[in-house]
Amino acid sequence: MNVHVAELEKDPQLPRYVEHFQRLLERERVKREEFYRWLTPSTKAEFINGEVVMHSPSRRMHIVVLKQIFRIFDAYVECHGLGTVDVEKSLISLTRNDYEPDLCFWRAEVAAGFAPEQLQFPPPDLIVEVLSPSSVERDRAIKFDDYARHGVSEYWIVDPDAQEIEQYLLQDEAYVLQAKTGDGTLKSRVLAGLVFPARAAFDAEENAAALRSVRGG
């Protein structure tokens, strides 16, 4: 048990704290239900700690980098029948928050249960977030902790400005940095056997070569 929680259990003011958080969570519940009611497939928004976060248009470099990662992931997953890769518009509903990660992968046995009209999805097995000026704090803080606590086994943070990828693996409900590189390779634990050259995220020729390798061409 977290040491702060253990200390809180002994605090004489515990009932007051409980009442405060019950009221807070009830307000969040009402706002979250309202969020679900007005949310549509064309709306890009997240619900984080009781607040709706709307997304602005992405920079071109963000779009290109994400597309190049998706190409390789999607081809590899399809070739090996591993599951499903979605990009940008899948709403991940966790205990308290709802996120739209840039890229998600679910293993086949989970994805098989998805319905055509489904709008909310369970925690993926792997998430990739491409940093932008408006998202960097969330991607490295609240999302970093929340994804780990909900069992997302692998988390990649991609910096298109520095042209680097950070790969984190889940260990005891916390992420441990496995690799950080801009010109090396990353070996995915979730997508077993995938060796991803980091340059393939940032360079079109490297991407094409990696894609041919994945497809056996």
Condensed to tens digits (0 to 9), the pLDDT of residues 177-213 reads: 999 999 999 999 999 999 999 999 999 999 999 999 9
Average pLDDT over residues 14-28: 93
- pTM listed for this prediction: 0.93
- Pull the structure tokens for residue 36: 């679900």
Mean pLDDT of the chain: 94
- Pull the structure tokens for residue 200: 């393939």
Residue 184: the pLDDT is 97
Tens digits of residue pLDDT in 65-103: 999 999 999 999 999 999 999 998 899 999 999 999 999
**In contact, 204 and 61? CB cutoff 8 Å:** no
Q: What is the CA radius of gyration of the chain?
A: 19
pLDDT at residue 49 greater than cutoff 70: yes
Average pLDDT over residues 146-157: 98
Average pLDDT over residues 10-25: 91
